[in-house]
Amino acid sequence: MSEFALIEHKKAEKVIEILENKYRNVKYYLNFDGPLQLLVAAILSAQTKDTVVNELTPELFKKYKTVEDFSGADPVSLLNYVKKVSFAESKVNHIINCCKIINKKYNGKIPNDMENLLSLPGIGRKTANTILINAFGIVEGIPVDTWVIKLSYRIGLSKSKKPDEIENDLKEIVAKKYWKNFAYVLKEHGHQICQSIKPECEICPINELCPKNGVN
C-alpha cells in the first residue's frame, strides 16, 4: 500500500466540482419535520443506518410530538420505539436529558448555535452541524461522518482520521457554497462508486485525479 498522497489544491477544486455536479440533487438522508424531530433522529442515527432510523421515526413522532413529551417520557416506553438502533438505551437517555435541558434552559426551543448545541448530551459537532444546516439553514461547518472520514482520506483531501481535523481541512479546500451538502455528496459517492471494500475506480468520474489512498 502506498503512502498517503495529499491532492494538489487545483486538482482538489476540480474533484469537488465534479462530485458536486454529479450528485447535485442529493439531500440530507433523514426524514424529519422541524428542529426537534431532526435532533432526535440525528441522535438515533449515530452508528445506525439511516434507513433503520427512517423506518421507526414515523411511529415515534406520532407518540412523542413535543419537547415536553420527550423530556417526560418513560425510558422503557421510549426504548420500545427505538430498540432497533445501535446503543438504543444510551440514545434514549440522551434524548430525554437533552429535552429536559431544552425545556428548562431554552424554553422548549432547540438552540440554533454551535456552542449551546454542543452543551447538550449526545450532541457532537457532526450532529450540531447537521441540525444547524438542515433545521435552521445556518452553514458554519461540514458534518463529518464515517463516509466523510473514509473518502476525505482516500481522495487526499485530509490525511487525518479525526473528525474535527478533517472538518478544518475540508473548510480550507471546499468552497463555502458547497459546505451544506458536501458530506451528503461524499456519502452518495461512497454508496454508488467509492465503496468501502472494492471501489469501482474504473467508472469513477474523478479516477484520473484521485490519489486512491488506501486502495490496493
Query: pLDDT per residue over 21-77, tens digit each?
Result: 999 999 999 999 999 999 999 999 999 999 999 999 999 999 999 999 999 999 999
Are residue 124 and residue 199 in the same domain, yes or no? no
Quote the pTM value.
0.93
Confidence of residue 216 (pLDDT cuts 50, 70, 90): confident
In a domain, 214, yes or no: no
Final residue before a domain boundary, out of 83, 108, 136: 136
In a domain, 2, yes or no: no
Q: Which long-range contacts (CB under 8 A, 24 or more apart) does 86-92 make?
A: 86/46, 86/47, 86/48, 87/46, 87/47, 90/122, 91/43, 91/44, 91/46, 91/122
pLDDT for 111: 97
In a domain, 84, yes or no: yes
Are residue 43 and residue 132 in the same domain, yes or no? yes
Inter-CA distances, 89 with 72, 126, 163, Å: 16, 21, 25
pLDDT for 200: 96
Are residue 16 and residue 64 in the same domain, yes or no? no
Residue 190 confidence (pLDDT) above 70: yes
- In Å, how far from its chain's centre is CA 193? 19
Final residue before a domain boundary, out of 84, 109, 136: 136
In a domain, 64, yes or no: yes
Confidence of residue 174 (pLDDT cuts 50, 70, 90): very high
* Spatial contact of 23 and 183, defined as CB atoms under 8 Å apart: no
In a domain, 92, yes or no: yes
In a domain, 213, yes or no: no
pLDDT for 2: 63
Annotate 45-59 with b (16+ C-beta within 10 A) or e (fewer). Answer: bbebeeeebbebbee
Are residue 150 and residue 84 in the same domain, yes or no? no
Are residue 104 and residue 156 in the same domain, yes or no? no
In a domain, 121, yes or no: yes
The C-alpha atoms of residue 179 and residue 143 are separated, in whole angstroms, by 9
> If you search the block for the grid coordinates 437517555, which residue do you land on?
93
The average pLDDT across 5-32 equals: 95
The C-alpha atoms of residue 39 and residue 134 are separated, in whole angstroms, by 10
In a domain, 56, yes or no: yes
Residue 1 confidence (pLDDT) above 70: no
**What's the domain range around 152?**
9-27+142-203
Average pLDDT for the chain: 96
Are residue 85 and residue 113 in the same domain, yes or no? yes
Are residue 45 and residue 124 in the same domain, yes or no? yes
The mean-pLDDT minimum among 159-163, 177-181, 212-216 falls in: 212-216
The C-alpha atoms of residue 158 and residue 162 are separated, in whole angstroms, by 10
pLDDT for 214: 87
Are residue 48 and residue 124 in the same domain, yes or no? yes
Are residue 119 and residue 188 in the same domain, yes or no? no
Q: What is the pLDDT of residues 71-124, one digit of tens each?
A: 999 999 999 999 999 999 999 999 999 999 999 999 999 999 999 999 999 999
Residue 151, all three cell numbers: 473518502
Are residue 45 and residue 127 in the same domain, yes or no? yes
Annotate 174-210 with b (16+ C-beta within 10 A) or e (fewer). Answer: beeebbbbbbbbbbbbbeebbeeeebeeeebebeebb
CATH value at residue 151 = 1.10.1670.10
The C-alpha atoms of residue 15 and residue 10 are separated, in whole angstroms, by 9
Domain count, the chain: 2
Are residue 111 and residue 50 in the same domain, yes or no? yes
Residue 14, all three cell numbers: 476540480
Final residue before a domain boundary, out of 121, 136, 151: 136
